[in-house]
Amino acid sequence: MSGEVDLPGKTREKGGAKMKAVVDQDTCTGCELCVETCPEVFEMQNDTAGVKADVVPAEAEETCRQAAEECPVEAITIEE
């Protein structure tokens, strides 16, 4: 916890990479692994995982990548 304030709807526009994650809803089996690995980005939406962060926060990029790598059905795509 750094005390930073996250403004909903505002994304980092300056400096740094903008990384996005996409879950293929047709492929996802709802195993919840990504939600456990990177709760900053993924959340369960009914039976499958969804992405709750439009742009992956810088501090969550590493766990987000890890979640994509560990997804057993490779349903997560990282765009950057």
User: Which residues bind to ligand SF4, rule: CB under 6 A?
Assistant: 23, 28-34, 48-49, 71-73, 75-76
**Residue (10 or 44) nearer to ligand SF4, CB:** 44
Q: How far apart are CA 39 and CA 35, in angstroms?
A: 5
Instruction: Name residue, tokens 């990548």.
Output: 65
CB-wise, 16 or 73, nearer to ligand SF4? 73
Q: Tell the smallest beta-carbon distance from residue 4 to ligand SF4 (Å).
A: 26
Distance CA 52, CA 42 (A): 6
For the bound state, the minimum distance from the C-beta of residue 65 to ligand SF4, rounded and expressed in Å, comes to: 13
Minimum distance between the CB of residue 10 and ligand SF4, rounded to whole angstroms? 26
- Neighbour count for residue 56 (Cβ, 10 Å): 26
Q: Side-chain half-sphere of 6: how many Cα atoms within 13 Å?
A: 12
Between 10 and 80, whose beta carbon lies closer to ligand SF4?
80
The structure tokens listed for 12 are 């980092």
